[in-house]
C-alpha cells in the first residue's frame, strides 16, 4: 500500500531531478580552451575560438582533432571501434571526447581568460 509519505518522497526526488536538469541545461558554461591529453600527459591547450587541425601521434596510433566555429570534434582515429569519432562535436565546459584505445582525451575547459572563471587543472603523477 502506498502511503502519503511515499508520494511526498517521490515528488521530492522528481523535483530535485528536474532542478538539476534545468540547472545543467540553462547554466552550462561556455568554455574557451581545448585541452588535449595523450598518454596521461597534456599534449596541448588550444583556444576554442581559433580554428585549427591537431594531429596526435603516439605509439603508432593517430588521432585527428578539428576545432572549428567554437566546436571540437575528433574527425579520425586509428582505433578499431571509432566511438571517439562518432561522439560528434563538443563545445561546453565538462564536455569531453575520449579515445580509450589510443589514450587520447579532448576536454573543454574554462581557462584563465574566460570571464566565467576557471583554470585548466592538470594533475600529473
Instruction: Read off the pLDDT of residues 1-57 as tens digits, 9 standing for 90 and up.
Output: 788 888 888 888 999 888 887 766 666 566 789 999 999 999 999 999 999 999 999
Q: Which string of b and e fits 31-68 if b means at least 16 CB within 10 Å?
A: bbbbbbbbeeeebeebebeeeeebebeeeebebbbebe
Question: Which position has the grid cell 564536455?
Answer: 95
Question: Which position has the grid cell 589510443?
Answer: 102
Instruction: Tell me the average pLDDT across 54-82.
Output: 95
- Which residues, other chains included, contact 41 with Cβ-Cβ below 8 Å and sequence gap of 6+? 124
pLDDT at 121: 45
pLDDT at 46: 96
Amino acid at each position: 500500500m502506498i502511503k502519503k509519505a511515499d508520494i511526498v518522497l517521490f515528488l521530492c526526488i522528481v523535483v530535485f531531478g528536474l532542478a538539476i536538469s534545468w540547472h545543467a541545461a540553462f547554466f552550462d558554461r561556455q568554455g574557451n580552451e581545448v585541452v588535449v591529453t595523450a598518454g596521461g600527459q597534456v599534449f596541448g591547450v588550444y583556444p576554442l575560438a581559433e580554428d585549427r587541425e591537431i594531429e596526435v601521434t603516439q605509439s603508432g596510433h593517430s588521432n585527428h582533432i578539428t576545432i572549428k566555429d567554437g566546436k571540437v570534434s575528433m574527425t579520425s582515429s586509428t582505433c578499431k571501434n571509432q566511438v571517439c569519432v562518432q561522439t560528434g562535436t563538443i563545445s561546453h565546459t565538462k564536455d569531453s571526447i575520449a579515445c580509450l584505445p589510443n589514450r587520447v582525451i579532448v576536454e573543454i575547459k574554462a581557462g584563465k581568460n574566460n570571464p566565467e572563471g576557471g583554470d585548466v587543472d592538470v594533475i600529473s603523477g
